[in-house]
Chains A and B, each alone.
Chain A
Amino acid sequence: MASIRFDGVTKRYKDGTLAVDDLRLDIPDGEFLILVGPSGCGKTTALRMLAGLEEISEGEIVLGDRVINDVEPGDRDVAMIFQNYALFPHMTVYDNMAFPLRMRRVAKKEVAEGVRAAAQLLGLGELLRRRPNQLSGGQRQRVAMGRAIVRQPAAFLMDEPLSNLDAKLRTQMRGELARMHRRLGTTTLYVTHDQTEAMTLGSRVAVMRNGIVQQVGAPQELYRNPANAFVARFIGSPPMNVMRGALEDGRLRVTGQEDGAGVDVGGRWPGQTREVLVGIRPEDWRLGAEPAPGEALTLRGEVEVVEELGAETIVYFRHAAAAVDVAGEDDGIGETFAARSEGGGRLPAPGDRVAFHASASALHVFDAGTGEAVAAPLHAASPAA
Chain B
Amino acid sequence: MTTEQQTLARPPAQQAPRPLPAVAQTSRAGRRWLRETARYAILIVASAASLYPVLWMLTVAMKTKAEYTQHPMSLPQSLNFDNFAAVLGNDDVLRYVLNSVIVVGAAVPLVTFTSVLAGYALARLWGRGGFVILFVFLFSELVPISILAIPLLLTVKEVGVENGALRLICVYSVLMMGFAVLLTRAFFRAIPEELREAARLDGCSEFGVFWRIMVPLARSPITLIAVITFIVLWNELFLAVVLLDSAAGRTLPLGLTEFRGRYSTDWPTVSAALLLSALPTMVLYAAFQSRIANQFSRSTTRE
Contacts and interface: CB of A to CB of B under 8 A. Distances in A.
A147 B217 contact: no
A80 B195 CA distance: 12
Contact of A103 (B192, B195, B203): B203
B203 A89 contact: no
A53 interface: yes
Interface in A104-157: 104, 133, 147, 151
Nearest to B196: A86
A88 interface: yes
B175 interface: no
B203 A104 contact: yes
A331 to B, nearest CB: 30
Given A53-B197, A80-B198, A86 B192 contact: yes
A78 B203 CA distance: 10
A82 B198 contact: yes
Contact of B203 (A74, A83, A84, A133): A74
Contacts of A74: 200-205
A100 B302 contact: no
A90 interface: yes
A53 B198 CA distance: 10
Contacts, number: 61
B204 A84 contact: no
B302 A151 contact: no
Contacts of A2: none
A86 B194 contact: yes
Interface in A46-66: 51-53
B201 A80 contact: yes
B303 A82 contact: no
Contacts of B302: 89
B201 A79 contact: yes
B203 A86 contact: no
A51 B201 contact: yes
Range, interface on chain A: 20 to 34
A121 to B, nearest CB: 19
Contacts of A73: 197, 200-201
A46 B219 CA distance: 36
B53 interface: no
A51 B202 CA distance: 11
B252 to A, nearest CB: 36
A151 B217 contact: no
A51 B217 CA distance: 25
B188 to A, nearest CB: 14
Given A100-B202, A147-B202, A88 B213 contact: yes
Given A89-B217, A99-B199, A133-B303, A82 B194 contact: yes
A103 B217 contact: no
Contact of A84 (B192, B202, B205, B216): B192
A99 B202 contact: yes
A284 B124 CA distance: 54
B208 interface: yes
A75 interface: yes
Given A74-B202, A133-B303, A86 B197 contact: yes
Interface in B82-119: none
A78 B197 CA distance: 12
Nearest to B208: A103
A73 B197 CA distance: 9
Contacts of A75: 203
Interface SS of chain B: helix
A78 B217 contact: no
Interface string B194-233: 1101111111110010000100110100000000000000
A17 B160 CA distance: 54
A127 B274 CA distance: 52
A52 B195 CA distance: 15
A83 B203 CA distance: 20
A267 to B, nearest CB: 55
Contacts of A83: 194
Given A89-B303, A90-B217, A103 B204 contact: yes
Contacts of A100: 202-203
Interface in A16-59: 51-53
A79 B202 CA distance: 7
Interface string B14-32: 0000000000000000000
Nearest to B200: A73
B216 A86 contact: no
A82 B197 contact: yes
B88 to A, nearest CB: 42
Contacts of A104: 203
Contacts of A84: 192, 194
B202 A103 contact: yes
B21 to A, nearest CB: 45
A247 B297 CA distance: 69
Interface of B: 192, 194-195, 197-205, 208, 213, 216-217, 219, 302-303
Closest 6 CB pairs of A and B: A74-B203, A103-B203, A86-B194, A100-B202, A86-B198, A82-B194
Interface of A: 51-53, 72-76, 78-80, 82-84, 86, 88-90, 99-100, 103-104, 133, 147, 151
Given A78-B201, A99-B199, 14 more contacts: A52-B200, A53-B201, A73-B197, A74-B200, A80-B197, A82-B198, A88-B198, A88-B217, A89-B302, A90-B219, A99-B202, A103-B202, A104-B203, A147-B198
